Chain A
Amino acid sequence: EIVLTQSPGALSLSPGERATLSCRASQSVSSRYLVWYQQKPGQAPRLLIYGVSNRATGIPDRFSGSGSGTDFTLTISRLEPEDFAVYYCQHFDTSWTFGQGTKVEIK
């Protein structure tokens, strides 16, 4: 079973700053199934990025994804107030797995 490890666990930043979130897989994974979600308190997750780098419908271009093999990154170029949330990466091998999440909080 592939394990996804996200780092850091929490990130304290100010609006306007750049956020860089990491997702590391325990072994090389297929890019076609590498996905990122955003979750705010009391809400369901929201799809941000699929296939490593493709933004989902309606996602602003300040969100971008990159990576390959075992190392993947979600970048938020300039944090807006509504971007402070928890972010999860996800992958499918023989089953879907989620990383443990990175909380982006206001500094």
Chain B
Amino acid sequence: QVQLQESGPGLVHPSGTLSLTCAVSGVSISNGDWWNWVRQSPGRGLEWIGETFHSGNPNYNPSLKGRVDISVDKSRNQFSLSLTSVTAADTAVYYCARDRSYGGDPEEWAFDIWGRGTMVTVTS
């Protein structure tokens, strides 16, 4: 059974760096899936942050580019999010999610497994 679990500080100071980790269990992070971060501000919709493959080659939301970095630690079977220069607008529930292929021709993809989410508040 594939599971994802987010962890990291729940409070971050303005202008600081938000750092979260997603632990992957039940599957190797190197199995061909893409690994994503998504956030949801209180009472708002979903915002995709970015994704990475096990070999690197991350892809980011253009609106966050320059502030975001997603990395993979294959030895620990986990991936991480770093978001710099945070403001109150970065306060949100942060989810990690797996983007997997469902095969087909052309290939179809979707986020099938999500972590439970972790609330991060930017506050002084």
Which residues from chain A sit less than 8 Å from chain B, CB to CB?
1, 30, 32-33, 35, 37, 39, 43-47, 50-51, 54, 56-57, 88, 90, 92, 95-101
Contacts and interface: CB of A to CB of B under 8 A. Distances in A.
Nearest to B47: A98
The B interface, classified by DSSP as helix, strand, loop or mixed, is: strand
Interface in B17-44: 36, 38
Contact of B59 (A33, A51, A57, A95): A95
A14 to B, nearest CB: 25
Contacts of A35: 109-111
Interface in B65-109: 95, 97, 99, 102, 104, 106-109
B117 A44 contact: yes
B115 A44 contact: yes
Contacts of A33: 108-109
8 contacts: A32-B106, A50-B109, A51-B104, A54-B108, A90-B110, A95-B62, A96-B99, A100-B45
Contact of A98 (B46, B51, B112, B114): B46
A98 B45 CA distance: 8
Contacts of B97: 44
Given A45-B46, A51-B102, A37 B111 contact: yes
Contacts of B110: 35, 47, 50-51, 56, 90
A51 B104 CA distance: 9
